[in-house]
Amino acid sequence: MNNGIIITDIFWDRIYINIIFEGYDIENKKIYVISKKEKYEFDLEKIDANKCKLVLNITNIKDGKMFSNDNYSFKEEVDGNLKDIHITVDLAYKLEDLDRIYRYKKDNFAYTINFEVKSVEEEYFSISLKSRFLKENEEFNNYKKKKKYIKKFSVLVAKNVLNCIYKVFSAIHPKKEKHILLMSETRSPISGNLKALDERIKQRKINENYKIEYSFFKTLESKKAKMILNWIKLLWKISKQQYIFLDDYSPLFKFINLNKNTKLIQVWHAGVGFKSVGYARFGFGGPEPYNSCHRKYDYAIVGSEALIPVYQEVFGISADKILPYGLPRLDNYLDKNRMQEIKEKLYNTYSYLKENKIIIFAPTFRGRGQEKAYYPYEVLDLNKIYELCKKQGYIFIIKMHPFVRKQIIIPEEFQDRIIDFSGYSDINDLLYVADILITDYSSNIYDFSLLKKPILFYTFDLDRYQLINKVHRSLREYAPGKICMNIDELINAIENQDFEIEKLEKFVQENFNKTDKKSTDLIIDNIILKD
């Protein structure tokens, strides 16, 4: 750490920011506050041994100046070089509560100060002070109508062109009764909730009276020309529909305004996890205020009433649009005959799954979004994992998130105990044969928790993930299993059967509805048939 100097606290006193620094011989240090264009140098005020403070008047940083529209970092000089000053983890969690807004000129203008955590040197954090002068609210509210607020002119053109194409297609298909589209832009082929809904529609012979259509392709993995062509074909289908059921993020709906006779229903693939998505990331790389497909949903299906506030935040829609019908794919999830059939199918194909105890390792991805998704495989010590598996009779199955394209390289000498199943389509099948699930911030805990089997959380980057990537709820408070911060803790937990299993029952009670009705039937009766 930079000669031991850290920022341990920040607090406000009207227009003064008080910043507390601690470290050896700190009173003789100079502190720099730097942006791309500006550099301020400050002496520190001594509090006591090894503790000093810096007081910044935001209306008069120096010589009557305020911070500009820029991002500022705190630096110290070490061996002639300027280095980031680290902050404590406790302060990092506090930063979101330190944002300030100063209104002026009849409240039409404002000056804001925000603090954001920055990750440096993997395990350490630093701080970014964001200073902004904001203009009239009216301009902001009307930003969609003005080209100067559109990041790229091509986005505006695409939006208008696609919307025009949709309106023409919709006019060609004025009658939309008894048409249903099942679709996804992130998953192919049909699976999960949509597959369960499709099967139930056919079981109840709804398809005899309704025209069922399908569209499944991975938009963000396509080249732009192919993506636009697929979207035009999809718009033709969409223009005919009375009901559209989709799973996961669907960017096309950012660009079009659906006909009032078409209902858009999100059957979200996740039960509940910890990572923030959608508007839960607003202000931290999440969607724009109004330019998001999530706001277009007429209804969203979630697992229980307890999850309504979570997905109200994620989708940015009102609570009355969020229907706690349960997840369709879980309708028959605990059916003993189904479980046995799937297990036998796996055992016949992969006999070693029956002959050994099974650990499923299924973490979420790292990185921002589908295009940049990755997992840091170096945190898996394959030597230690292999020795554990060999000693205790486990097979270690790796099931990466579908966004992660780079496969793990497993040395040949480990391949009898450590096996990559990332190409297997349905993780729920694998959960049936698992004895232990190891994950991190993923929503796969939702399904697996119903099996009442141990869950371990391998969260080597817990603070970094919670502070940088953001989470809905604190993992330390809500995780239904033991949290392991490094590979040794993970190995020890498995060897000693230390799973903190008592947390699991509480999680199940809080996150699942108690009802005998199938989720698929509730959707069919209350949305499609309106019984």
Which of the pair, 376 or 105, is modelled with greater confidence? Answer: 376
Q: What per-residue confidence (pLDDT) applies to 372?
A: 87
The answer on pLDDT for 64 being more than 80 is: no
All domains of the chain in start order, with CATH: 2-140 (2.60.40), 144-326 (3.40.50.11820), 336-511 (3.40.50.12580)
Q: How buried is residue 260: exposed, middle or buried, by Cβ count under 10 Å (0-12/13-18/19+)?
A: exposed
How far apart, in whole angstroms, are the C-alpha atoms of residue 151 and residue 159? 13
How far apart, in whole angstroms, are the C-alpha atoms of residue 483 and residue 490? 8
pLDDT digit string (tens) for 418-477?
Answer: 999 999 988 999 999 999 999 999 999 999 999 999 999 999 999 989 888 888 788 999
pLDDT band at 152 (very low <50, low <70, confident <90, very high): low
Of the candidates 255, 289, 288, the one whose C-alpha atom is nearest the C-alpha of residue 158 is 255
- For residue 205, the tally of other CB atoms under 10 A from its CB is 9
Residues in a beta bridge with 420? 398
Q: What per-residue confidence (pLDDT) applies to 70?
A: 95
Over residues 50-75, the mean pLDDT reads: 90
Q: What per-residue confidence (pLDDT) applies to 30?
A: 87
Q: What per-residue confidence (pLDDT) applies to 3?
A: 53
The percent helix, strand, coil of the chain (3-state, each to 5) is 35, 25, 35
How far apart, in whole angstroms, are the C-alpha atoms of residue 219 and residue 211? 24
- The model's pTM is 0.78
Q: What per-residue confidence (pLDDT) applies to 153?
A: 61
pLDDT band at 1 (very low <50, low <70, confident <90, very high): very low
pLDDT band at 2 (very low <50, low <70, confident <90, very high): very low
- Show the beta-strand stretches assigned E in 217-356: 243-246, 263-266, 299-301, 322-323
How far apart, in whole angstroms, are the C-alpha atoms of residue 280 and residue 317? 12
Q: What per-residue confidence (pLDDT) applies to 150?
A: 47
Q: What per-residue confidence (pLDDT) applies to 368?
A: 78
> Which range (198-202, 274-278, 417-421) has the least confidence?
274-278
Over residues 391-407, the mean pLDDT reads: 95
Over residues 111-139, the mean pLDDT reads: 82
How far apart, in whole angstroms, are the C-alpha atoms of residue 372 and residue 57? 40
Q: What per-residue confidence (pLDDT) applies to 375?
A: 96
The answer on pLDDT for 172 being more than 90 is: yes
CA quadruple 44, 46, 50, 51: dihedral sign: negative
